[in-house]
Amino acid sequence: MRAIQKTILFGDSITQFWQNYDAAFFETFNLLNKGISGQTTTQMRVRFENDVLNLQPKMLIILAGINDIAENNGPILLEEIMQNIILMIKKATDNTIEVILCTVLPTNYFYWNPKILPAKNVIELNKMIRDYANSNDKKLADYYSQMVDTSNGLQKQFSTDGVHPNLIGYLKMRSILEPYLML
């Protein structure tokens, strides 16, 4: 039996910045923020043991893949991104940690890498994430479908840069994720 029952949010800058906008959410649900800005799924896998397994959480929420699509560490196939996510899920499951997967937030432009046109890859990666969740009986927090605009970007009300949520965006994400935390 674990002495500490906590939930880890594991991801990149979208996860990292969330606590700055909605600290009460983290306190209410005993959430531990393990987001690191700019990280890809490969980098997240490297720190998985230290930032997740060693902390023995009850639940793990994974939001990952947007920085891979942005090619922060160079080109990577969508299948490789998904494989990284699956490997993290398997490690968590092997350690009796419940996993909630999240769809990647919509975006059609990276201000730090404007040569990349991400919308199609975000849609494809999210299809892979949904299919995996459905086939493997995993819970899915589907941010994408509730936050996308007509040009496959993040609705303007939810962001100032088209990638990172603002307060309204984080409150929307909270409304999507919160029901899973109340079970």
Please tell me the pTM assigned to this model. 0.95
| Domains defined for the chain, CATH in brackets | 7-181 (3.40.50.1110)
Distance CA 96, CA 176 (A): 24
- Quick one: which H or E segment has residue 100? strand 98-102
* Residue of 21, 13, 140 whose CA lies nearest to 66: 13
Q: Provide DSSP, 34-71.
A: EE-TT--HHHHHHHHHHHTGGG--SEEEE---HHHHTT
* Residue of 64, 75, 87, 49 whose CA lies nearest to 16: 64
Residue 182 has what pLDDT? Answer: 85
pLDDT tens for 59-86 read 999 999 999 999 999 999 999 999 999 9
Task: Specify whether the backbone of 40 is left (phi greater than 0), alpha (psi in -120 to 50) or beta.
Answer: beta
* Residue of 63, 61, 64 whose CA lies nearest to 26: 61
pLDDT tens for 77-125 read 999 999 999 999 999 999 999 999 999 999 999 999 999 999 999 999 9
